[in-house]
Structure 1
């Protein structure tokens, strides 16, 4: 059959009709996503539901935080300011003690003895629904004028994948002021002044009370589960459970350049309250003294995902994270 290089009319018509049938079921990139921009808050939405939201209004909380944090299209995995610990701010970073001053929780007057302040917040939201957040932070005793510690923070958030997962790459550079800074925590049981609930400080997640059938996975042995807590060293951990009828989790990966890598982890899994919590606790076993004018950098990758991850999956994700260029602070 001669066609002069062209499809016969009936073949071309069939092909065009077939393509037309396919087109309605082929989603466009980013379908259903939109940015929500408010005064001192930025969030990503999927079909009218928040995927994540970054809040940096000091009138709302004494630290900047993310809430909600969810698999795209899913239920929130985080809990902001729960009644049992109102100073838990969903996904947030907080020191416990700097030179014996408490920056973690409020005093009797309702404010922490140590003030966490921030400025120069820049949020770059992109057309592909990824984002980059930059900010400067200062840490000082409430009655002091000069900070004992300053921080440059960058959080790079990927666009959600087809399964609703995405990652947050945190990079934080802390520089001591004119004097050494002792980064400390409440001692753990078995140490002088230690308590069963000691050992936490740093990057933390307080999970939603609706989370059920909670499991903690890691790339190394988690050790004993005592007082509803784990304390262990690993390159990565995954905190997961069932929420709104589906399995979902949040993994945290420790960058190999971090001090005391592989880091310690502090995990609470108490269904009675309920109390679901994970902390990248590099101070868990002992404090860290940062010399005057010196800098320490902490990097973590958080991955919000559907399903439950195995230790093998965590190993694979950590290997990938370790091989990629580190998030730059400039």
Structure 2
């Protein structure tokens, strides 16, 4: 009996060892780590997003506004920059990236949550505009505790052309994105951060360049060292991708904005057509680290992330 009990304990799910717990209710998914809030997947906007993104220090590494209005010296620009999200500025000519308050605006509609595990969940989405569903999406979030100071979020997006072909237009406004907190930025009252990519470029040199990953590093809101990095997987379209990395805190992986990033005359250079019924899969990773850029070991982390599942 004792040996059977021991065997049962040894084969218990690895998710529990990570300390993650995930619960879904009413279009919201709450993810905790070691009993504390790690992030929430929210659907109270025209595009789903995750907020906050928590560091092991207990600091929030992603932008607070417009989710919170009372955060000291938080810039109130770009209301569509909601912490951690995915959208694009031109799908069949419709702008899913920026929006007004009109109900007729393009939106990414949450259709349901499924396959909820301790450290993962999947959502079904519909990219709708002008009375049509241009894309359906199956998006899976997986959370991993790498060590006491480091967590990783792995996101896989399966986009399918629905009511006809879907053309992803050439624009810098997209696609897989994070807006970082005040101190990690280079511009702003509290800005003390820096940007680095996998090729060793720094700060303003990173924008519009191709690389495996990009990181923001600096002090977090508690004054402790922090890193937030984004990985592009080798299986993604046009890997390594171009990066829309701004000094005011925007970090976005964008495989479509070639004419903007490379100053091409043809404004359709980066267009990509997905035929009706075809599926395009993207996989991205986000690393949250309490510590320095060096201790984050991003080249090593990316090498592990880049392997096939």
Length-normalised TM-score, structure 1: 0.72
Q: Residue 132 of structure 1: which of 116, 120, 123 is its match?
A: 120
Change in Cα spacing, 1:221 to 1:34, as seen in structure 2 (3 Å) is: closer
Q: Out of 200-209 and 109-118, give the one that drifted further.
A: 109-118
Structure 2 residue 214 is matched with structure 1 residue 230: no
Larger Rg: 1
Change in Cα spacing, 1:220 to 1:122, as seen in structure 2 (3 Å) is: same
Q: Give the unaligned 5+ runs of structure 2.
A: 1-16, 67-75, 185-190, 259-269
Matches within 5 A, 1:1-330: 39-45=26-32, 50-56=37-43, 60-82=44-66, 83-107=76-100, 109-111=101-103, 113-122=105-114, 124-126=116-118, 131-141=119-129, 143-144=130-131, 146-159=132-145, 161-163=147-149, 165-186=150-171, 199-211=172-184, 212-222=191-201, 225=204, 230-243=207-220, 244-269=222-247, 275-285=248-258, 286-310=270-294, 313-325=297-309
Q: Deviations for 1:80-100, whole angstroms, at most 9, x for unmatched residues?
A: 444211111100111211111
Length-normalised TM-score, structure 2: 0.77
Output the CA distance in 1 between the equivalents of 2:22 and 2:137: 27
Change in Cα spacing, 1:287 to 1:111, as seen in structure 2 (3 Å) is: farther
Q: In the alignment, is the contact (CA less than 8 A) between 1:176 and 1:293 conserved in 2?
A: yes
Q: Give the unaligned 5+ runs of structure 1.
A: 1-28, 187-198, 270-274, 326-330
Q: Following TM superposition, by how much is the alpha carbon of 1:267 offset from its aligned partner in structure 2, in angstroms?
A: 0.5
Q: Following TM superposition, by how much is the alpha carbon of 1:185 offset from its aligned partner in structure 2, in angstroms?
A: 4.5
Aligned residues: 267
